[in-house]
A and B are shown apart, each in its own frame.
Chain A
Amino acid sequence: MDISGSLVTALMLLGLGMAFVYMFLGLLFICINLMAKYIPADKPVITPQRKTSAAPKAAGQAQVSPQVIAAITSAVQQYRKSQAV
């Protein structure tokens, strides 16, 4: 085949090849978007851990705080009294 004929074939290959690669990957793009839309996400594994780690904190705060607050308040009052005298 002469060179000009080959160049025309190469031009055809360029157009056809790039169009096909884009079409193929474009369809894959649509596929992936559909997958993202219809396939539910994995359930996060960390959630139960968070709950357990968060629970004792709250419980701890609720248990400790009245006593501690009472102790601190009485200590502050005693200190103020002693300072006033």
Chain B
Amino acid sequence: MNGLMTLWADTGIANFEWPELVMMAVGGLLLYLAVVRKFEPLLLLPIGFGAILANIPNAGFNDEGGMLYYIYHIGIETGIFPLIIFMGVGALTDFGALIANPKTLFLGAAAQFGIFATLFGAILLNLVPGFEFSLADASAIAIIGGADGPTAIFLASKLAPDLLGAIAVAAYSYMALVPIIQPPIMRALTTQAEREIKMEQLRPVSKKEKIIFPLAVLLMTILFLPAATPLVGMFCLGNLMRESGVVDRLSSTAQNELINIVTIFLGLGVGSKLSADKFLNLETLGILGLGAIAFSIGTASGVIMAKIMGRFSKSPINPLIGAAGVSAVPMAARVANKVGLEANPHNFLLMHAMGPNVAGVLGSAVAAGVLLAIVG
């Protein structure tokens, strides 16, 4: 009888508490979004599953010695997983469109306004009882506006590890929601005639330019913003492996096997941070709200910058491509292309939007470096 009681005391049913159940339901919701709605499934599936595992009573996944504890400790606390992912993203990125039309760099820069503007929102939320965001917390939340998962996780792991779960979930959720969040803002800020603007064909970019580009970016980061070199450096390494053409095996590994393996562990590690005590509070709601604001401001400022540039530029610029400045590669560029096609079925903006899109990746890495250098 005693043995039976001990066994009962060890079952999940006897040990469940409602916050853990709620968090498992949150994990289930993420799985639903990934499996049924196909929202960023590569990340939301392991994150959702990690959230369920992390909240199993008596399983000890998150205790010292537990699997998720080590995954988080080794890969995310140290910042290594997001950096390896960034190397893979570098190996997947073709800077051709940006090099062919370097003006689009300024669109990628403008879209980072969402990050810095959201700092105010996060600090003002402290006026509401229940919120206590420090400047470091506010910076980590604001980076959601960069719409770049690895950058957000990297910065959050350095500045606000306690908020990492909520920040990562918000960042990836909004990236999945790009096709829903962006088009209304893009349509509101542009006229039909502006959306119909056709852009000039891009010039061909030589192989040498593509090889020198990552080295130039790295050199500039070394000179001006060493705090961003972990992110930019890994990104440039991946890109150089791709463009040099001499290490195809490494490039292929970085953009396939390695990024896939690390994505599994990154997802589980982020999921492990979705524990009831850290997630079920008012601050999470605040983070989700601020993330949406950051994203919207970033989109709007990209479009507005493109409109201003279009006024002064000799070659025509379709303002829709400005919205792609918020990284979220390549989803944001596809959205710009789609909205452009709605206005003019013969106007393909995809390649033009890839310029600001990859510029946004660099821009948000630089913004993260600035926040890290000043606030960190």
Contact = CB atoms under 8 A, between A and B. Distances in A.
Given A28-B105, A35-B209, A14 B220 contact: no
B116 A17 contact: yes
Given A17-B371, A42-B206, A25 B116 contact: no
Contacts of B362: 25, 28
A39 B366 contact: no
Interface residues of B, number: 43
A7 B5 CA distance: 57
Interface in B182-224: 204, 206-209, 212-213, 216-217, 220, 224
Residues of A contacting B: mostly: helix
B24 to A, nearest CB: 36
B216 A31 contact: yes
A41 B181 CA distance: 40
Nearest to A40: B206
A11 B123 CA distance: 11
A9 B120 CA distance: 10
B220 A31 contact: yes
B220 A41 contact: no
A22 B362 CA distance: 11
A35 B212 contact: yes
Contacts of A6: 123, 126, 135, 138
Nearest to A42: B206
A17 B115 contact: yes
Nearest to A1: B135
Interface in B229-271: none
Nearest to B107: A25
B39 interface: no
Contact of A25 (B108, B207, B212): B108
Nearest to A9: B135
Interface in A8-25: 9-11, 13-14, 16-18, 20-25
**Looking at A10, A21, A25, A42, which has the most chain B CB atoms within 10 Å of its CB?**
A21
A21 B212 contact: no
A32 B225 CA distance: 19
A40 to B, nearest CB: 7
A66 B105 CA distance: 60
B209 A39 contact: yes
Contacts of A33: 102
A33 B205 CA distance: 12
A22 B216 CA distance: 16
B123 A21 contact: no
A20 B212 CA distance: 23
A27 B213 contact: no
Given A9-B135, A40-B206, A42-B204, A21 B124 contact: no
B130 to A, nearest CB: 15
A18 B116 CA distance: 8
Nearest to B103: A29
Nearest to B116: A14
Interface in A21-53: 21-29, 31-33, 35-36, 39-42
A69 interface: no
* 9 closest residue pairs by CB, A with B: A32-B102, A10-B119, A14-B116, A25-B105, A42-B206, A25-B109, A6-B123, A17-B370, A17-B116
Interface of A: 1, 3, 6-7, 9-11, 13-14, 16-18, 20-29, 31-33, 35-36, 39-42
Given A10-B135, A17-B370, A24-B366, 16 more contacts: A6-B123, A7-B120, A10-B138, A16-B374, A21-B109, A21-B112, A21-B367, A25-B105, A27-B220, A27-B224, A28-B105, A28-B217, A31-B216, A32-B99, A35-B212, A36-B209
